Chains A and B, each alone.
Chain A
């Protein structure tokens, strides 16, 4: 039963692969035999989202042995594949492979490099086990602002609310199920590409109140929103919540309270906004006054 074991470690160059056959392959399969099932938190650890060592891809090149699928992964002693989420019989299997990596024509210090990367991966995974979403404060600074209730908006990939309401709907807290566009309800929608100069008056036509001097301060009535632009392509809106932090919804994706770096948003002007690097203005939404479509 020959095996091909690909070491997922590189980003640009192809990953090196080791072929085992005969007694060596038989020994490896015995080490890979599934032991105890993984707990839920162990299964959910992402394998792909880091640079460096990401585990081994094991492929059985002939008929697969009983209990193991044709191809599967192992990372930090965890076996993951079709109907497979178990600890390996030998949790040190990756070290066993590292000790054989010297025969790969990758570089003379590859075995050492691989071992260092394996250690780093284990440390990162340990960190991920304890990573928690930042705490969203409940203290109320903006009493008129909408509640942050993502579950109401986030009804899934096939959901009516999530799919048909964008950042403009979310920021104005106004569900239309039409993927609302600034100015459309007032017959004042502008052509693309969006700019501060054309989205701002379109929103004003929908009765949002332009308040460039708001300086992140809650209004006495209504709630604060903020307009940003990805030059030449798109616009985006945030809304300030009751706890003083900002939240947003990207197109038909779920609403969230964090920026591109995973941080809470005390001020959209300083948030990680990816390519939406132009901050246009703050505006006030007076509840019941606006009309969007």
Chain B
């Protein structure tokens, strides 16, 4: 069965939050318009040459966005890291996001009630 262009576009962007330990982490679809907005935010971020901050032991540990063409972003602690899953050997690109605009926009795209209220605390 053929898939319509809009269907394939809808499936192109997915997001998730690393927040649980035992149960599977929440994952949701992201509208193409939000995906494009997040790409614009990413393009406007200044580069950084710093490592991702240490992950806290339990609780919120960041969120990710998977886009078309194997693009993968991970946001946490004012830093956004970009990787291409098609070129896993390549060095990740790190940018700073002091206002956490990328992370906040991505988390705001989650359906209501999917994420715990203490997320980010």
> A-side interface residues toward B, CB under 8 Å?
8, 15, 43-49, 57, 59, 69, 71-73, 80-82, 84-85, 157-158, 166-168, 179, 181-182, 192, 194, 199, 230, 232-237, 248-254, 256, 258-260, 272-276
Contacts and interface: CB of A to CB of B under 8 A. Distances in A.
B18 A49 contact: no
Contacts of B85: 158
Nearest to A83: B49
30 contacts: A46-B51, A47-B48, A47-B96, A48-B50, A48-B77, A48-B78, A48-B98, A59-B46, A72-B46, A81-B47, A157-B83, A158-B85, A166-B21, A179-B24, A230-B59, A233-B20, A233-B23, A236-B22, A248-B21, A248-B58, A250-B18, A250-B55, A251-B18, A251-B19, A252-B18, A256-B57, A259-B58, A260-B56, A260-B57, A274-B59
A268 to B, nearest CB: 11
Q: Binding site of A, secondary structure by majority: helix, strand, loop or mixed?
A: loop
A179 B18 CA distance: 14
Contacts of A69: 47
Contacts of A43: 49-50
B57 A235 contact: no
Contacts of A234: 19-23, 116
B79 interface: yes
B25 interface: yes
Interface string B94-121: 0010100000000000000000101001
Contacts of B31: none
The 8 closest A-B pairs by CB, nearest first: A274-B59, A236-B21, A235-B22, A274-B58, A82-B47, A234-B20, A71-B46, A48-B78
